[in-house]
Amino acid sequence: MKKIIRIAIIGLLLLIANALLISSAIGNFNEQSVDKNFVKVYIENQDDVDTISNLDLDLDIWEVNQGFLIAMVYDKQIIELKEKGFIVEILYNSEREFLESCFEPVQATSGVSYHSYSSLKTELQNIEDNYTNIAKVYDIGDSWEKTQGIADRDILAIKISDNVTTEEEDEPDILFMGGTHAREWISVEVPFYLAKYLVEHYSTDQKVKQLIDSREIWIVPLVNPDGLEYSRTDNRFWRKNRRDNGDGTFGVDPNRNFGYKWGQQGSSGNSTSNTYRGTAPFSEPETQAIRYLVSTHNFSSSISYHSYSQLILYPWGYTKDAPQHKVQLSKMADDMATEIKKVHGKDYTPEQASDLYIASGDSDDWLYGVYNIAAFTIELRPKTMAEGGFVLPPSQIIPTWKENKPAALYLIEWPQQLDIKSPPIASFSYYPENPIVNETITFNASNSTDPDGTIENYEWDFGDGEKAEEKIVTHSYSSAKNYTVKLTVTDNEGATNSTAEIINIEIEIPIVTTVLVKSPTEASEGENFTATVNVDGVGDLAILMFRLNYNSSVIRLTNVEKGSDIDTSGWSQWLQDSSAGILKVFAFSDSSGSTINGSAELARLEFIAVGNAGNRSVIDIKGILGNSAVEPIEAIWEGSEVTLMPVKN
């Protein structure tokens, strides 16, 4: 019987230490100050953004800029950021201080103001009542608070088409969503004003009429009504829905709750986090409502409105890999940015969502990854927190809508369904399989494939700062350690895929350390015999721990002694414990003792055969070895087997 045991003395200690640290962190959570600070965190590049996201500090990141990001954080998070080496500048000491600094009151001083849930519901119904031939409001689901009997709020969608009561299979469906995040009030207004514009111009604008007659336009202005109302009445910067998580916290981030790549990097499993993903994909009634709508229609494209930063984002969000339709999605985003700029000269930056930061479980990835929909997120005004951030003055509602109108019309007019495409698949091998320092290693990406196209570019990152760009490359390492080798392939459509593997570089070809139980293969009934525990190919052995298992109804252990090399080399610490069928030994060399190198006899075990002829017993051994630095030694543990023979006459 042979088992490979990877020793983990240090790992076990680290796990215990981590558990204590985690427990301490949880215990200190309630000690955080109630108020959050608005801070500027200085960064050098996009890698720093990813590093901060991966620290699991649950920062509420508002915007990412060249050289810095803006976030809302607790005092404790500021300390943690500084401990990680980041420079942090406090901009505002509380939410109240920031709100007081905003240059215009939230309530309108003119005739335009932000909608509440009830006012939005009324206006949507008015649209249907006034334009019954081309507009109809549908209740596609309930908010979380309605499912609990706390409030009466529905997820409302308005369909605009020349046939609003039936699904016309020959007409493409286009989806617009807003109000996914509660504090992003402007994201409710743009899709609402889109609906209003379409119906009001149907009889006077030939282009609008043509679009409505040939399309089925679905608009969900407010995905998260509970969250919006809470943001209006209690906490202006509330982001999530209002689910009671049952642990003293509230809310799930709807835009981390969609089912494609749910639960991966860029979302949080901590219910206190603003990016808390929930307990399962589509755990929330709000995302279930969108799932129902999408599953019952044939959408070709979509825009989800958010704020802020003036961006046009497309998949993927969960990975840096480019999507299969990279070229097409990028061009569409560029085109929409151009249309927007024509109105007021505002720059909206088109980019892949993960170029901003990694986010998994969002609506765009789900729409694109599951339904092949050309899905975009438009982050609306303003550009920066200095211009108000989420607190956009009501005077900017109409200008924001007007500059986004041509982009919305562009998407409605876009006639295509994305082709079904499979992404390239990155794969590589390397030789030799157990490389050593300064040895030439050949990396071969010939196994990479692209079902729908051709791979045009190979990018290697060898994990030591060196890179290469051919299908087959060679490389060597000057230091012995683990390196993460990453291959990224790009196909003729601009889609990318990557794979990575950790390669262990040794100083020299390692000697295999084996711990072996040697015993007679046969023993007669009633016969005494000796088994030994031996090690081979070991270096600097200072700690020995093993457990021996055997069948006590076949053989019985009568005596245990130190092995000859243990007994003579100063291993004064020897502890053993035995019971029927089990022997446990723990031994180590004290400061006066010497370590073992090469081969050695570690223990001598005396048995007597007590079973009947034909009985067999495996003598199984497993354990751990350590060196004088209390570091693990990798070893192969190998037992033996004894068969009882009849007594010879």
CATH code at 514-645: 2.60.40.680
d(CA 301, CA 176): 9
Alpha carbon distance 78, 98 (integer Å): 18
Q: Please, are residues 290 and 220 in contact by the beta-carbon 8 Å criterion?
A: yes
Query: pTM for the whole thing?
Result: 0.66
- Please tell me the distance from the alpha carbon of residue 104 to that of residue 100, in angstroms, as a whole number: 9
Tell me what pLDDT residue 32 has: 36
Please name the helix (run of DSSP H) or strand (run of DSSP E) that holds residue 26, with its range, or none: helix 9-28
CA distance 575 to 591: 17
Cβ within 8 Å of residue 478, ≥6 positions away: 437, 438
32-101 and 514-645: identical CATH topology: no
Provide the pLDDT for residue 31: 32
- Cβ contacts of residue 342 below 8 Å, gap of 6+? 406
Residues in Cβ contact with 466 at an 8 Å cutoff, skipping those fewer than 6 apart = 475
- 246-292 tens-digit pLDDT: 999 999 999 999 999 999 998 999 999 999 999 999 999 999 999 99
The answer to whether residue 379 is catalytic is yes
- For the chain, the structural domain boundaries read 32-101, 117-250+282-413, 429-504, 514-645
pLDDT of 573: 80
Spans of the chain below 50 pLDDT: 1-33, 103-104, 106-109
Question: What is the overall mean pLDDT for the chain?
Answer: 88
- What pLDDT, on a 0 to 100 scale, did the predictor assign at position 388? 87
Place of tokens 């092995």: 563
Omega prior to 316 cis, within 30 of 0: yes
Q: Which CATH number fits domain 117-250+282-413: 3.90.79.10, 3.40.630.10, 3.20.20.150, 3.90.1150.170?
A: 3.40.630.10
Radius of gyration of the chain (CA): 33
Give CATH superfamily name and number for 429-504. Answer: Immunoglobulins (2.60.40.10)
Query: Which tens digits make up the pLDDT trace of 477-532?
Result: 988 889 999 999 988 878 889 999 999 988 765 568 999 999 999 999 889 999 99
Active-site entry in 145, 286, 339, 379: 379
Predicted pLDDT of residue 426: 93
* CATH code of domain 32-101: 3.30.70.340
Neighbours of 103 (CB within 10 A): 9
